[in-house]
Amino acid sequence: MFVDRIKVQAKAGNGGRGCVSFRREKFVPKGGPDGGDGGKGGDIILRADEHMDNLAALFYEPLIKAKTGGHGQGKQMHGRGAPDTIVKVPVGTVVWRVNEQMGGAKEYEEALADLDRPNEEFVLCEGGKGGKGNVHFKSSRNRAPREYTEGEEGEEGTFLFELRTIAEVALVGYPNAGKSTLLRRISAAHPKVAAYPFTTLHPMIGVVEFDDYRRATVADIPGLVEGAHRNLGLGHAFLRHITRCRLLLFVLDMAGSERRNPIEDLQHLRREIDLYDPRLSRRKWRVAANKMDLPGAAEHLAAFRGRYPEREAAAISAKSGAGIEELKRSLDRWLQDDDFALRECSCRKADAGSEGDSG
């Protein structure tokens, strides 16, 4: 099962109660108060784990709790602090607080956290502080206080977790254009390939290694069709997985083997991306002209080059492997081309699409 969006309830541990106790010892009459403080409740901590690729683990446990702190004890002994509850989430998980009172109209606003680096942690709910034992309440007038305080409540809330896959390059194209075949060619990933549309149902990441030991992550995503914004095909919500990418690589069936025109395909794809998020459509993009082994492809490619003279398009056959090495070299260059002092994710986070590079 692949889960990339899930609502979760979380409640951190309460603090332990303070203790009421008096020192009792031989030869020390009226030893005075010695009740210790309660321990802190456990936090709920999210940790980005590179070995997870989706949020399915939370599907079975949508209620996360942490333990209550230990109660204080006599002889001024503090209660034990409860252990934190660590929740592993895939790298790229974004967290929002859900406001149930808002009637679901706009259920969340600003993201609380974006765990986009391996092992990054975020305290989702903090455990309550422990209560005070009676030792804190003694005074010259009250030498035998029976006061104490309860531990504080742990924080709680309802949250929305959404996975936004982290990859530098996104393969975007119609169903059957050959995106998965291409990913298999250029990386060790093994997405399923088949001659029917919508074979790929969720994103898959592959790592491409270039000649110079550089590498890049590439995401194969489901097929996009005209009208996806109206929920045709698989809709377009899965595009959230490419919102972080630096380069859109449009994979076109240059042979028009399903009786569509590749130039129109490209226009439809770009329009759907724009309707999903205009910032994404301003991202740098290039074309992989696939299925060049089939008749008609060369003519279409010539027409494409006439229509987009400035745009680089790599002519390939993902099936036969022709042109793949050149494509890899071009990819390496395209990724290095831009002044990516912006490489840091934080910049991409600030504005997920304003690189302003439409080239």
Which residues in this chain contact ligand GTP in the complex, by CB under 6 A? 173, 175-181, 193-195, 197-200, 222-223, 290-291, 293-294, 317-319
Distance of closest approach, residue 79 Cβ to ligand GTP, in angstroms? 55
Distance of closest approach, residue 172 Cβ to ligand GTP, in angstroms? 10
**Which lies closer to Mg ion via its Cβ, residue 73 or residue 180?**
180
**Which lies closer to ligand GTP via its Cβ, residue 158 or residue 330?**
330
Under the binding rule (CB under 5 A), the answer on residue 200 touching Mg ion is yes
Binding site partner of 197, from Mg ion, ligand GTP, none, Cβ cut-off 5-8 A by kind: ligand GTP
Token duo for residue 80: 């034990």
- Report whether 250 contacts 286 (CB < 8 A): yes
Q: What are phi and psi of 135, to 5 degrees?
A: -60, -25
Element (H, E) at 157: strand 156-163
Under the binding rule (CB under 5 A), the answer on residue 149 touching Mg ion is no
Under the binding rule (CB under 5 A), the answer on residue 319 touching Mg ion is no
Distance of closest approach, residue 185 Cβ to ligand GTP, in angstroms? 9
**Which lies closer to ligand GTP via its Cβ, residue 281 or residue 290?**
290
How far is residue 184's CA from residue 269's CA, in Å, rounded to a whole number? 22
Under the binding rule (CB under 5 A), the answer on residue 281 touching Mg ion is no
Under the binding rule (CB under 5 A), the answer on residue 199 touching Mg ion is yes
Binding site partner of 203, from ligand GTP, Mg ion, none, Cβ cut-off 5-8 A by kind: none
C-alpha closest to that of 171 among 196, 195, 200, 194: 200
- Report whether 277 contacts 198 (CB < 8 A): no
Binding site partner of 205, from Mg ion, ligand GTP, none, Cβ cut-off 5-8 A by kind: none
Distance of closest approach, residue 252 Cβ to ligand GTP, in angstroms? 10
Distance of closest approach, residue 242 Cβ to ligand GTP, in angstroms? 14
Dihedral sign from CA coordinates of 52, 56, 58, 60: negative
Token duo for residue 151: 């531990």
Distance of closest approach, residue 181 Cβ to ligand GTP, in angstroms? 3
Taking contact as CB under 5 A, which single stretch among the options 118-126, 162-170, 199-207, 247-255 is the one that binds Mg ion?
Answer: 199-207
Under the binding rule (CB under 5 A), the answer on residue 21 touching Mg ion is no
How far is residue 24's CA from residue 14's CA, in Å, rounded to a whole number? 30
Binding site partner of 28, from ligand GTP, Mg ion, none, Cβ cut-off 5-8 A by kind: none
- Report whether 113 contacts 8 (CB < 8 A): no
Q: How many residues bind Mg ion (CB under 5 A)?
A: 3
Dihedral sign from CA coordinates of 84, 88, 94, 100: negative
C-alpha closest to that of 247 among 346, 340, 349, 318: 340
Strand partners, 274: none
Under the binding rule (CB under 5 A), the answer on residue 180 touching Mg ion is yes
Residue 189, classified by CB atoms within 10 Å of its CB into exposed (0-12), middle (13-18) or buried (19+), is middle
Distance of closest approach, residue 43 Cβ to ligand GTP, in angstroms? 41
**Which lies closer to Mg ion via its Cβ, residue 272 or residue 355?**
272
Distance of closest approach, residue 171 Cβ to ligand GTP, in angstroms? 8
**Which lies closer to ligand GTP via its Cβ, residue 71 or residue 179?**
179
Token duo for residue 250: 């449009």
Binding site for Mg ion (CB under 5 A): 180, 199-200
